[in-house]
Amino acid sequence: MADGGNERSPLLILFMVVLIDMIGFTLVIPFLTYFIQDLAEADGFLQAGSRDRWVGIVLAAYTLGQFLFTPILGSLSDRMGRRPILLFGLIANTVFLILFGLASTLWMALLVRFLAGAGNGNIAVTKAYIGDISTSEQLPARMGMIGASFGLGFMIGPFLGGILTDPANVFGGPFANDWWEAHPYFLPCLFSGVLSAISFLLAIRMLPESLPIEQRNQESNDGFGLRKVMKNLVGIRDLNPTVRKLIFVNAVFLLAFAMMHTTFILFTAMPIELGGLGYDERMNGYIFAFVGVIGVIVQGGLIRPLTKKYDVRKLMVLGIFLTAFGLGWIPYLEPSPFVIVLLAMSFIAAGNGLFQPTQSTLLTTEARGSSLDLGRVMGAQEGWGALSRIIGPIFAAFIWAETVEGTGLWSYHTVFRAAGLIAIMGILIQWKMVLTTDSDDEE
């Protein structure tokens, strides 16, 4: 582990790389739902339910790629080092973000999103990188700093994505032609790809390797492909109970979050007379930009003093509760006042901002205490998280499709209520969890 002075430069570069990467990635959020709806209607899916199912399916395609390949990339980072895997992910982002903007059919969109997910294991590897160069005392603040880069990316990316959508009508000039009319979502995708390419150049020139050769796991008999994925998923039974529970808590939280992410814009885009908010891509861009601001405040500014004053586990539980409350509030929102919409989203953003760094800190601490490879543990967590993000969008989309035109208990409210209840399950899973710090205190 490097000393404190030498770590500042890698952390700063990693922050910048992750920030640019996240801006590029989150640019698609405001318009992806509208894009898939347009493609579905062009392919003949004209009813709201059958059309909107494809939003969940395409979202799940990205995480199916992550589910199959992130555990592999995590283990490869234990053998080859973190840097080459991060670079590979940035190249995949660049190529497939641009190709997504050119998709003309649902099947092309599905394939491109799957390949984008398969090539990007950067979240797991970034967390392992931080774990390589940090002490237990440094972890909460550093996980929070990386989380803040996610939040800042979430603030800038969706805002730009909303602004850059449909340039033919918004900007005119060089965009006022038939090609840009036919490709209203290409400009934000192109911009995303360019940002990811810049991130790649920064990383290849300025980001050092964090895992020394002598500390790498050189075993090569684990297998690859589906066998490797299943080994990582089933293999968590060999981990200690606390690590397993933390992985499951994260998976349940992400399941609830993915359900909201799939259906939130379906709800906000729904006409006001049908119970929605009637928002367009730009309004949704503003909402997610606000979510990013809250994430930056919590993970960039508040998490360090909070973890010094309060128990990390209690902060994680509070994050789950706040998120669940915000999820359940969503379907009761009205188009105005807009500030109430932002207030509801602030619960979700603050809850997520508390949960992510505290859960990552607890998992890293417990993995170290058990002498487990961080790459393997983080890869397994991201694999289970990806499984949640596969099930979540499909589950949410099918609930939405079956209830969007219903009334009473079975209406568009249902999916958000279900997401809130699923988030609460995360609190129940960790109820009797015993941490290493608890055992140390008893001694």
Q: What CATH number corresponds to the domain at position 257?
A: 1.20.1250.20
Residue 254: both structure tokens together = 């992400």
Has residue 395 been placed in a domain? yes
Q: Give percent of the chain above pLDDT 90.
A: 33
Give the separation between CA 77 and CA 69, rounded to whole angstroms.
12
Has residue 8 been placed in a domain? yes
Residue 296, pLDDT score? 80
Residue 441, pLDDT score? 46
Has residue 439 been placed in a domain? no
The low-confidence residues of the chain, meaning pLDDT below 50, are 1-5, 220-221, 225, 441-443
Has residue 130 been placed in a domain? yes
- The one-letter code for the residue type at 19 is L
Helices (H), 27-138: 29-42, 48-80, 82-101, 106-119, 122-133
User: By residue range, what is the domain housing residue 54?
Assistant: 4-207+224-433
Residue 298: both structure tokens together = 């919590």
Residue 247, pLDDT score? 92
Has residue 214 been placed in a domain? no
Residue 1, pLDDT score? 44
Give the separation between CA 428 and CA 320, rounded to whole angstroms.
11
Has residue 442 been placed in a domain? no
Residue 231, pLDDT score? 67
Has residue 213 been placed in a domain? no
Residue 140, pLDDT score? 75
Total domains, the chain: 1
Has residue 386 been placed in a domain? yes
Residue 131, pLDDT score? 82
